[in-house]
Structure 1
C-alpha cells in the first residue's frame, strides 16, 4: 500500500482508529491466550517436564541443563572483541548514571505526638526476560538488569530463549557476565514466564517478571499478573514525530522506518504543519524502501498527517499517548512543555528514538498502546515497594470514638470493639 499524506483526522476519527487498533490487538491476544493458558497450566503441574516439552516444540532443541554455567558466561565475554566490550561498558555507565537518580527513599515524620511514614525496600527476586530470535538483544538485558541492581534486588535471574542448537546468543551471555549476573537460563516464551512464576526443579519462582517479549510472553504475563508481579503488557512499538520546516526530511524518513521495521503492527506517525516537509519525507521514504524494503510485505505502518498548526499536533499527541515522541521543531525545549502523555520524549534533531533504544541513559522498556496516559517507563521504582507505618504514642489523643462510629456504620463489629477497647470503652462480655 503506498504511503500517502492526509489531513489529521479529528479526535472522533482518531478514537475510532485507536479502538480498531486495540480490538485487533485484543483479538490477537485472545487467539493465543487459549494456547498460552494450556502452556501455563502444564508448567504449573509438570514443572521441568513441561519446560522441556515446549522448548523442544517451539525452539526445536532438547535442553538437558537450563542454567548456563558461569564459566560459559565468562568465556563469552572474553571471546568478544574489544569494540563490543567497550560498547557494553559505555552503555552500562550511561544507563546506570541515569537510573541511580531514580532510587526511592524511605521517609518518616511526626504527626501530633506520633510517628508515621513509608519504608521502601527492594524486591527479593526478579526475572529479566531478554528476547531471542535471529538477532541478540543485549540492550534489553542492560535495561532490565541495571535498575534491578540499583534497587538492591538480591536475586536477579535472566530468561532468554535458545536457538535450535540449544545455544543462547553469545552477546547476551557476555553482557550478563559484565553486569555480574550469575543465573542465566536458556528458556523463553510463555513457558519461561510460567516457570518463573510457579518455580520448577530447575527454575526458581520470583517476585516479579520484567522485560519485553513476543505475544506469547505478553499473553502469559497477562494471565499471571496478580499471581506474580509484572512490569507491563508490551504491544507493538510506536513513534509519533512532530516536525516543522527546520527538520531534515531524510532524517525523518529514516526515523519513521526505524520504528516501522520492528513489526507490521508497529506505528510510525509524522505530524507537521509544513506540506513541503511531508512531501519531501514521502519521497525519501519511497526511495529508501526501493533500496531496502522492510522484511514484511504487508501494509507499511507509516502515516503522514498535515496539521493546521503545532497546537493541533500537541492535542493529537496527548490523545495518542505514544510510546516514543520525537519533537523536531525550532524550539523543542519550549514545545515539549505542551506534552502530557508520552512514554519517552526525544527532543531536537540529534535525538532519534534509536539513540534511546541503545542506551543513551533512559530506559527503553516503555508503555505502549496508549499506556503512557497512565503508566511510566521501567525504572528502579519497579523493583521495590513501599510499606506505610504508624507508631502512635501514649500521650497522643487518638480518635477511638470517632473511628468506632464509622466501624459501626460499616457494620464491622470487631473493628469497633478493637477501637473501643483501646479508648477505654470496652463492652463487658
Structure 2
C-alpha cells in the first residue's frame, strides 16, 4: 500500500500497556524470582528450571551453533570493536588563572543488556550493546533474554555471551526482565543502566523504571527515511524499503525524491505490498532534507550524489547510510550501532556507543587563584545567599 502524504502524527500504543506493565513490575519487586518463574510460564509459555544460565549450559548451547554463524559473529565482532575503539575519549586537562582543571572518564560499573527474542533470536543485538560496553571497560555486564521453547538460551546468544565474557545471562524476557534488572531479585543482579531494544511492553517497562535506573531510550518501531535522486537504483531502493519492513507491521518507511522516474519505478514494485510505504515527491533534495530533519528518523539513507557533502545538512538522524550503502548493513557489520533512537529521539540523542557506558568526572585544583576570580566567587556566593560558601572560599585564599 502506498500513501502520498505523511501522517500528522505517528500512532503510539505505548500508553495502553502502562497499567499491565506497572503490575508486572510491582509483582517482580514484591515476589522476586517466584514472579519471574510464573510470568515466564504465563507470558512466554515456557517453564524454566533456573533463571541464571550456568556456565555449563552456556557452553553446551554455544557448541550447537553452526560454524558458519560462529565465523560471521567473529567477523562482525572485530569490525564493531574497531568502530567503538575509535570513539573512546581521552582524559583531558588544562588550566586558567591559577586553576588547573580537566575531565576524566569513568565506566558505569554495572549494566544490563536486554536482547529480544521470539520466532528468531538476535545475537547481533548483544554484539551491538556488549561490544561498546566492553570497550568502555564496564566491570559487570548482565544479559536478559527470553528462553527458547526448550527452556534454554539460544546457541548464538550463548556464543556471543561467552565471547564477550559477560557476568551472567538470565532466561527472562519482557517487562519482567526489565523490572528484575532494575530492582534485582534472588537470581538477577540489580544494575545501574539498562540498554537494548524490545517490544512495546519492554519499552514501557524501561520508561517506568527510569526513575531508579538509567536507560538508553524508548525505542521502536523501526524507521527508515530514504532521500534519493536520479542516481539511485530503483531495485536497490525497493529492497532497502522491504528489508526494514521485515521488522514488523508498524515499521515507518518513507521515500523522499524529486525524480519522477525513480518514484514511478518504485511504486510499480511495491504497489501490491500490504505494508504501508510513504512516497513523497519533493521540489528538490533540499526540501527532502528539511522533511527528513523534521521526522528525525532512526535510519536515514542518503542515496544521492555528493552524499558526504549533503550529510552536513542532516541534523536529526540515528544512523546515516551514504550513497549506495544499504541501511541493513548497519544492522550487522558496518560499525555503527543498530540500537538507535526512534519516535523523534534522534533530535536529542544518537545510537548506543561507548558514551552510553562511561561518564565524565570533572576536577579542579586551585593553587594561586587570580584575585578577580576569587572576589567574583565570593560575591556570587553571597548574592545567592550561601554566605558560608563565600567564607569557605575566603578562608583559604584571601
TM-score interval for Structure 1 and Structure 2 normalised by the shorter chain: over 0.9
Q: What displacement does 1:395 show?
A: 6.2
Is this contact kept in 1: 2:58–2:153, CA < 8 A? no
Is 2:89 the counterpart of 1:104? Answer: yes
Q: What displacement does 1:326 show?
A: 0.8
Is 2:373 the counterpart of 1:388? Answer: no
Q: What displacement does 1:340 show?
A: 1.7
Aligned pairs (5 A) from 1:9-408 = 17-18=7-8, 20-21=9-10, 24-25=11-12, 28-286=13-271, 289=273, 300-349=275-324, 351-393=325-367, 397=371, 399-408=373-382
Is this contact kept in 2: 1:128–1:141, CA < 8 A? yes
Summarize deviations over 1:234-274 as a string: whole Å, max 9, x none. 02111011111222212211111111221222111111111
CA distance in 2, matches of 1:149, 1:170: 21
- Secondary structure of the residue aligned to 2:363 is strand
CA distance in 1, matches of 2:394, 2:224: 58
Unaligned runs of 5+ in 1: 290-296, 425-429
CA distance in 2, matches of 1:385, 1:402: 30
Is this contact kept in 2: 1:365–1:378, CA < 8 A? yes
The number of residue pairs the alignment matches comes to 398
Summarize deviations over 1:64-111 as a string: whole Å, max 9, x none. 311111222223333222211110010001100111101122211122
Q: What displacement does 1:115 show?
A: 1.4
Is this contact kept in 2: 1:77–1:178, CA < 8 A? no
CA distance in 1, matches of 2:156, 2:136: 25
- Secondary structure of the residue aligned to 2:2 is coil
Is this contact kept in 2: 1:116–1:388, CA < 8 A? yes
Is 2:2 the counterpart of 1:3? Answer: yes
CA distance in 1, matches of 2:151, 2:66: 23
Q: Counterpart of 1:294?
A: none
CA distance in 1, matches of 2:217, 2:339: 9
CA separation of 1:41 and 1:414: change in aligned 2, threshold 3 A:
farther
CA separation of 1:401 and 1:256: change in aligned 2, threshold 3 A:
same
Summarize deviations over 1:150-173 as a string: whole Å, max 9, x none. 000011111101134322222211
Summarize deviations over 1:282-328 as a string: whole Å, max 9, x none. 111136x4xxxxxxx6xx23111111111111111111111111111
CA distance in 2, matches of 1:67, 1:193: 15
CA distance in 2, matches of 1:235, 1:227: 22
Is this contact kept in 1: 2:134–2:164, CA < 8 A? no
Is this contact kept in 2: 1:270–1:305, CA < 8 A? yes
Summarize deviations over 1:180-211 as a string: whole Å, max 9, x none. 23411101111111111111110011111101
- Secondary structure of the residue aligned to 2:253 is strand
Is this contact kept in 1: 2:206–2:218, CA < 8 A? yes
Q: What displacement does 1:219 show?
A: 0.6
Q: What displacement does 1:124 show?
A: 0.8
CA distance in 1, matches of 2:276, 2:169: 35
CA distance in 2, matches of 1:343, 1:196: 26
Q: What displacement does 1:387 show?
A: 0.9
CA separation of 1:257 and 1:40: change in aligned 2, threshold 3 A:
same
Unaligned runs of 5+ in 2: none
Is this contact kept in 2: 1:401–1:423, CA < 8 A? no
- Secondary structure of the residue aligned to 1:217 is helix
Is this contact kept in 1: 2:61–2:154, CA < 8 A? no
CA separation of 1:189 and 1:398: change in aligned 2, threshold 3 A:
farther
Is this contact kept in 1: 2:105–2:361, CA < 8 A? yes
CA distance in 2, matches of 1:417, 1:395: 16
CA distance in 2, matches of 1:364, 1:167: 25
